[in-house]
Amino acid sequence: MKKKLTTYDLTLVAMFAALMAIGANITSWAPFLQVANVPLSMQPFFCILAGLLLGSRLGALSMTIYALIGIAGAPVFAQFKAGIGIIFGSTGGFILSYIITAFIVGKIIELNKTKGTGIFYTASFVGIIVIYIIGTTYMWLALNVWINAPMSYLSAWGVMAWFLVKDVAFTIVGAIIAPKIYHTVTKITHHRTAA
C-alpha cells in the first residue's frame, strides 16, 4: 500500500517543479550562460536530481506537475513558452522524457540498499541516456512525420551533441553532490518521523 503524500512531500515536489521552470529559462536571467550560442538549460540536471533525492514516485510526480503546469498555459517551458503545442513540437519529447527519467532514476536508488556513491553515478548516467534517447528520437519523429521538416536520425543526434556535452558535465556534478544531500535529508526525515 502506497503511503499518503505529506505536506513535506508536496513541498519537495513543488520545489522541483519550480526548479524545472527556472532551469528551462536560466539564460533569460543569466545570458552569459551559453557555450557556442547554445543555452545551458538546467532541466536534465534538475530532473535527474529529483529522481535521486525524491525517489521514483515523488520525482515523477514533480516532473508531471511541471509538464501539466506548462500545458495548462503557465510560461514554464523554454523561452517562457506554454501550451499543449509545445508537447507536439520538436522538443516535446524531452519534456515527456523527464517524467520517465525521474521515475527510473529514483527506482534505481530505491532498489539499491547501500546507497553508495557509485549507485548515484549509475542512476545519473542512466537518466541522461534515457532523456537523450527519448528526446532525440521524438524530435526526429516530430520533424519527419508531423512538422514536415525532414532530418536524418544521425543529423538529429548531431544537433543534440552540443547539448549532450554540457548535460554530461552537469550530470557528473549532480552525481557528486546528490549523495551528500540525500544522506542529510534522510537523517533529517528520520529524526522528524522518530520524534
Q: Rounded distance, CA 163 to CA 160, Å?
A: 5
Do the domain assignments include residue 58?
yes
Give the predicted TM-score (pTM) of the model.
0.91
Q: Rounded distance, CA 45 to CA 183, Å?
A: 19
**Residue 38: what are its φ and ψ, rounded to 5°?**
-100, 120
Do the domain assignments include residue 166?
yes
State residue 34's pLDDT score: 62
**Three-state SS letters, 32-99:** CCEECCEECCCHHHHHHHHHHHHHHHHHHHHHHHHHHHHHHCCCCEHHHECCHHHHCCCCHHHHHHHH
What are the cell numbers at 23?
532551469
State residue 174's pLDDT score: 95
Quickly state the pLDDT bin for 194 (edges 50, 70, 90).
very low
pLDDT at 86 over 70: yes
Q: Rounded distance, CA 128 to CA 171, Å?
A: 7
Contact 65, 49 (CB under 8 A): no
Domains: count for the chain = 1
Do the domain assignments include residue 1?
no
CATH number at residue 19: 1.10.1760.20
State residue 184's pLDDT score: 87
Do the domain assignments include residue 147?
yes
What are the cell numbers at 166?
554540457
State residue 26's pLDDT score: 86
Quickly state the pLDDT bin for 192 (edges 50, 70, 90).
very low
Do the domain assignments include residue 35?
no
What are the cell numbers at 138?
521524438
What torsion, rounded to 10 degrees, do the Cα atoms 103, 104, 110, 114 define? Answer: -150
How does the average pLDDT of the chain come out, rounded?
90
Host domain of residue 48:
7-27+41-194
Do the domain assignments include residue 104?
yes
Name the amino acid, one letter, at 100.
Answer: I
Radius of gyration of the chain (CA): 17
Do the domain assignments include residue 33?
no
In three-state secondary structure terms, 173 is: helix
Do the domain assignments include residue 34?
no
For 104-152, what is each residue's pLDDT tens digit? 999 999 999 989 999 999 999 999 999 999 999 999 999 999 999 999 9
Contact 156, 143 (CB under 8 A): yes
